[in-house]
Structure 1
Amino acid sequence: MPVELNEEHDEERFEGQLSHALHDLGGGFDTDRTALAAAGRARGHRLRLRRRAAVAGGAAGIALVGVGGALLVPWGGAAEPLPSSSSVAEQPSKTPAVTGGRLIEALEGLLPKGKFSAQEARGADEGPLMLPYVRLVYDDGKGPGAVAVSLNRIEPGSDQARETTACPDKALVPHDDCDSTRLPDGSLLKLFRGYEYPDRRVDTKLWSADLITPTGQHISVSEWNAAAEKDAPVSRSEPPLSTGQLKDLVTAKVWRGYVDSIPEDPKKPTASATPGHETAEPPTTEAVLGTLQALLPKNIKVVEKGRDYTYVVLDDGKGRSYLQIDVQRGMGDAAGELFGDGAETLPDGTKVGFRASGGDKGVAGAVMWTVDTLRTDGFRVVVSAFNAATQHDAPSRETPALTEEQLRKIALSPEWEQYR
């Protein structure tokens, strides 16, 4: 999937895990979020870096995931909400490929009594490059609500599996409730209750459930309190299914059989580890934040920092300011996408760029400053500062706590050399 650097497009990419999946589905639930690709640990890591590159290049965050993974990519494990078609099948199908009609029939049969409309589905019989999904509008008599299910495979025990079922940081993804548990059969289950838009500019609620079984079957369910994910008025106070009903739906055995029916991609590349930075373990969140804090001006206090994500919240006595950083290896081939013809090149070949934007779309007065640097060996350090305590809050000050020069000094510090 090509890396895109459209600012408004990227700013919407962080708002819901299943919405990431639905991005590939098209139709009435089309969304402007990103579905990332990950085929194998090494390839997945590289694509994760590309995702971070795109987001940091023009959005209000450094690879911040939405509900299913991460808004701002954590060094302890960044989120890729959806594998690409090349990783759809990890094993040959042993059952007949499920059709779209069967998926619609299954979803309607599993929902409580009510009226159904706007049914749409894609079956596994349409080929290995197409992930199965089903979506419809369900009305239990209290107003219509959209419900969708997508099916996939994820390598069990992988970073991607853990990230998909991990609850997001509330500082990055505002939500009301999230619970991640391991079921008696060893499956990982995440139940999430949040919002379609983090800034709440429209009060559309998004509730979702993700299940990953010990054999890597991934079932993702999402529902809204409107007849469509976007561009539809709120039609009820809450989505139609309770948390318990969401759990029942996502754990229904029928979905696991349908995942097994996904045919293998005959063109799927075999994973092969190659020496170099891509196979090296990335630095931990703790290490990156430790280095960052040592580089901050002495008159600025760190009042909050991420546990799984590389960000801090600063306070210089004039209001809080959110600061995020990402340290990436192997980004040399993305130089053309990250830096234009007007980018500065230092005597040692390091490229430096500065971008000023309005941060999250819909937040009046938001300011985001980003300094992006790329060494000749593909080592990248990018740091962004906001004039608010989070990426989605209203501004708490006129400009970020750090100046462009201070951000530049941090990004170009030789202290980052230890992570190359």
Structure 2
Amino acid sequence: MPVEHDEEHFEGRLGHALHDLGDRFEADRAALADAGRARGHRLRLRRRAAVAGGAAGIALVGVGGALLVPWDGTPAPRPASSDVAERPSGKPAPDPVTGAELIRGLEELLPDGTTSNEEARGTADSPPSPYVRLVFDDGKGPAAVAVSMDRVEPGSENARQWTTCPDKALVPYDHCEVHRSPGGDVVMSVQGYEYPDRRVDTKHWYASRVTPEGHHIMISEWNAAAEKDAPVTRDEPPLRPELLVAVITRGPWQAAVDAIPERQHKPTATAAPDDAPAEPDTKDVLATLQPLLPKGVKVVEKGSNYTYLVLDDGKGRSYLQIDVQHGMGDVADELFGNDSETLPDGTRVGFRENGGDKGVAGAVMWTVDTLRTDGFRVVVSALNAGTQHDAPTRKTPALTKEQLREIALSPEWDRYR
């Protein structure tokens, strides 16, 4: 349907929104610098989802701003119960927010243009996570726009995940900023791509906001009429990052989150037991990993958010990632098949070879997975490219299968058990 605006009225309203935003937010450099702290806890919370993958797959779970409600309408998994904020007890439930109200709220915040393919789920619908999506055309080509709403536990790893810029070695993007308001709201805006390998130049720009009360609101847009499998219709998505941020700081979104019904059944918690050792941080893991590298292999880049190194032995760059996890004994049979090996001390060892997680042509990834008898897991993956989304720079990874095995089984990791 057409979205009619009085131009002066719209510009004035947007100007006020951006002015309010400027007063409330300032660049949060600390959030960018401290991003690595969330890594270990995030792995624990999502370890079951990563059982079938290598180390590369584990690190990418939940990274890069995937929309909470996919464009095809399939409900996304709810976060782990330990990471979801519940409505305070004793307070009456707010009135439901309808899908029509969400559509109207988004259309009122868009600039002049037309909308079509409007679809929304209100808070009284099931499953409970509300969303709105539509196709917006400002005269320069149709573009998909979507807003999703949910609760997160304030201060949790899930909340930090949605407000921490992705690692560029894992998720390519052109620009990312994090802002924090004096009142505690944190907003991240990212100008990225739908496909990490850039096989199609579909751009994905999004902004994610988390409030101190646990409201999580995310807006996404593309330079195509659908998230995937649709032709690019314009050079860039229609809404600039500052407008994306302005949209999610206004509108009916917080009211919708407040009206989300409390879940009748909490999902089984996937975090490690409370008495499990703390996961080592990125700096410690990489400091242990580097002395285990063979001679002649240089480290040309290292992760700050995730435990990876980029190596070069003179024959091309090679990505190496390691993950160290506790409490994985209960999923041993899912991690290790009949072709795995059991050492005399009970340690299980498995090897996988595949084309990596991104399906890049010519990619070769080798993974050595190890599990000690106390559930302590060390998994190492090497790729024949400098990142997970770049084209291969060599035929095979810089480290041999035997060298990966030696690293994963090194007694140096026992310090973290």
Q: How does 1:320-399 map to 2 (within 5 A)?
A: 320-399=317-396
Shift in Å at residue 82 of structure 1?
6.0
Counterpart residue number, 2:226: 228
Shift in Å at residue 273 of structure 1?
9.5
Cα distance change on mapping 1:84 and 1:107 into 2, 3 Å: farther
Secondary structure in 2 matching 1:124 = coil
Deviations 1:232-278 (A, max 9, x none): 1001111111112111111115211111111111333798995431x
Deviations 1:130-174 (A, max 9, x none): 311111111111110000010011111222212210111111111
Q: Contact 2:97 / 2:123 at 8 angstroms: preserved in 1?
A: yes
Q: 1:90 aligns with which of 86, 92, 105?
A: 86
Q: Contact 1:97 / 1:258 at 8 angstroms: preserved in 2?
A: yes
Deviations 1:318-355 (A, max 9, x none): 11111000001111121122111121111122111111
Q: 1:61 aligns with which of 57, 62, 65?
A: 57
**Distance of 2:287 and 2:181 partners within structure 1:** 36
Cα distance change on mapping 1:85 and 1:105 into 2, 3 Å: farther
Counterpart residue number, 2:106: 107
> Which letter maps to 2:100?
G
Counterpart residue number, 1:140: 138
Shift in Å at residue 53 of structure 1?
2.9
> Which letter maps to 2:59?
A
**Distance of 1:336 and 1:96 partners within structure 2:** 47
Moved more, 206-215 or 262-271: 262-271
In the alignment of these two chains, the number of paired residues is 364
> Which letter maps to 2:215?
Q
Q: Contact 2:176 / 2:190 at 8 angstroms: preserved in 1?
A: yes
Structure 1 position 159 matched with structure 2 position 141 = no
Shift in Å at residue 193 of structure 1?
0.3
Q: Contact 2:128 / 2:260 at 8 angstroms: preserved in 1?
A: no
Shift in Å at residue 49 of structure 1?
2.1
Q: Contact 1:89 / 1:263 at 8 angstroms: preserved in 2?
A: no
Counterpart residue number, 1:126: 125
> Which letter maps to 1:105?
R
Shift in Å at residue 66 of structure 1?
3.0
TM-score (norm 1): 0.81
Secondary structure in 1 matching 2:382 = strand
Counterpart residue number, 1:218: 216
Shift in Å at residue 360 of structure 1?
4.2
Q: Contact 1:192 / 1:208 at 8 angstroms: preserved in 2?
A: yes
Cα distance change on mapping 1:86 and 1:135 into 2, 3 Å: farther
> Which letter maps to 2:360?
V
Q: Contact 1:219 / 1:255 at 8 angstroms: preserved in 2?
A: yes
**Distance of 1:86 and 1:317 partners within structure 2:** 46
TM-score (norm 2): 0.82
Shift in Å at residue 317 of structure 1?
1.3
Deviations 1:26-64 (A, max 9, x none): xxxxxxxxxxxxxxxx9976432223433327xx53321
Counterpart residue number, 1:262: 260
Secondary structure in 2 matching 1:63 = helix
Q: CA RMSD in A?
A: 2.5
**Distance of 1:43 and 1:207 partners within structure 2:** 27
Q: Contact 2:80 / 2:267 at 8 angstroms: preserved in 1?
A: no
> Which letter maps to 1:120?
E
Q: 1:301 aligns with which of 298, 303, 320?
A: 298
> Which letter maps to 1:134?
V
**Distance of 2:83 and 2:375 partners within structure 1:** 26
Counterpart residue number, 1:207: 205
> Which letter maps to 2:400?
T
Q: Contact 1:167 / 1:179 at 8 angstroms: preserved in 2?
A: yes
Shift in Å at residue 88 of structure 1?
5.1
**Distance of 2:296 and 2:245 partners within structure 1:** 49
Shift in Å at residue 185 of structure 1?
2.7
Shift in Å at residue 400 of structure 1?
0.6
**Distance of 1:45 and 1:324 partners within structure 2:** 14
Q: Contact 1:86 / 1:268 at 8 angstroms: preserved in 2?
A: no
Secondary structure in 2 matching 1:228 = coil
**Distance of 1:372 and 1:273 partners within structure 2:** 19
Shift in Å at residue 408 of structure 1?
0.3
Cα distance change on mapping 1:397 and 1:44 into 2, 3 Å: closer
Secondary structure in 2 matching 1:263 = coil
Q: Contact 1:355 / 1:369 at 8 angstroms: preserved in 2?
A: yes
Q: Contact 1:88 / 1:265 at 8 angstroms: preserved in 2?
A: no
**Distance of 1:46 and 1:113 partners within structure 2:** 45
- Which protein is bigger by CA-based radius of gyration? 2
> Which letter maps to 1:401?
A
Secondary structure in 1 matching 2:239 = coil
Moved more, 130-139 or 99-108: 99-108
Cα distance change on mapping 1:382 and 1:86 into 2, 3 Å: closer
